[in-house]
Amino acid sequence: MSAILEARGLMKTFGAVTAANDISTSINEHSITGLIGTNGAGKTTFVNMVTGYLKPSAGSIHFAGRDITPLAPRQITRLGIARSFQIPQLYDTLTVRENLIVALGIVLRNAKSSFFSKLPAQVPGHNEPLDTVADNLMTQFNLNGYADRIARVLPQGVRKQLDIAMAMAGKPQVLLLDEPTSGVAAEEKFGIMDMIMNVVRAEKVTVLFVEHDMDIVSRYSDRVLAFYDGRIIADQAPQDALNNPEVQRYVTGKRHA
Partner 1 sequence: MNNRSMIIFSVILIALITLGGFLPDWATFHITRSLGLGLVVLGLMLMLRAGLVSFGQALYYCLGAYTAGALMHFYHIKEALLLIPAGMLTSALLAAVLGALLANYRGIFFGLLSLAFSMILYGVIVKSSSLGSTDGFTLTSPTFFGMALGESSRYAVYITACVLTLISIWGLERYLRTPLGRLAPAIRDNEIRVEYLGQSVRNAVHIKYIISAALAGLGGALTALTVGHIDPEMAYWTTSGEFVFILILSGSQSVIAPFLGALLFESLRTYAYQEFPYVWQMVLGIAMLLVISFLPDGIWSLFKSRKAKPT
| Nearest-approach distance from CB 95 to partner 1, in angstroms | 7
> Under the criterion CB under 8 A, does residue 64 sit at the interface with partner 1?
no
Task: State whether residue 81 is helix, strand or coil.
Answer: strand
> Under the criterion CB under 8 A, does residue 144 sit at the interface with partner 1?
no
Residue 103 one-letter amino acid: A
Candidates 7, 108, 164, 233: give the one binding partner 1 (CB under 8 A).
108
| Nearest-approach distance from CB 140 to partner 1, in angstroms | 17
Task: State whether residue 59 is helix, strand or coil.
Answer: strand
| Nearest-approach distance from CB 108 to partner 1, in angstroms | 5
**Running DSSP on this structure, what letter comes out for residue 251?**
I
Candidates 14, 17, 58, 119: give the one binding partner 1 (CB under 8 A).
119
How far apart CA 118 and CA 164 sit, in angstroms, is: 28
212 near 226, Cβ under 8 Å? no
Q: Which stretch binds partner 1 (CB under 8 A): 12-20, 70-78, 179-187, 224-232?
A: 70-78
Q: Which stretch binds partner 1 (CB under 8 A): 54-62, 71-79, 209-217, 222-230?
A: 71-79
| Nearest-approach distance from CB 102 to partner 1, in angstroms | 5
199 near 136, Cβ under 8 Å? no
Closest CA to 206 of 162, 171, 158: 171
Q: Which stretch binds partner 1 (CB under 8 A): 2-10, 97-105, 213-221, 245-253?
A: 97-105
Half-sphere exposure of 2 (CA within 13 A, CB side): 5
x/- mask, partner 1, residues 149-188, rule CB under 8 A, reads xx---------------xx-xx------------------
The three-state (H, E, C) secondary structure of 7-52, written as one string: EEEEEEEECCEEEEEEEEEEEECCCEEEEEECCCCCHHHHHHHHCC
**Residue 79, CA distances (Å) to 17, 36, 37, 182, 193 in order:** 31, 26, 28, 28, 25
> Under the criterion CB under 8 A, does residue 66 sit at the interface with partner 1?
no
> Under the criterion CB under 8 A, does residue 198 sit at the interface with partner 1?
no
240 near 247, Cβ under 8 Å? no
Nearer to partner 1, 179 or 213 (CB): 179
The radius of gyration of the chain from alpha carbons, rounded to an integer in Å, stands at 18
Site for partner 1 in 27-56 (CB under 8 A): 51
Binding site for partner 1 (CB under 8 A): 51, 72-75, 77-78, 82-83, 85, 89-95, 98, 101-103, 105-110, 119, 148-150, 166-167, 169-170
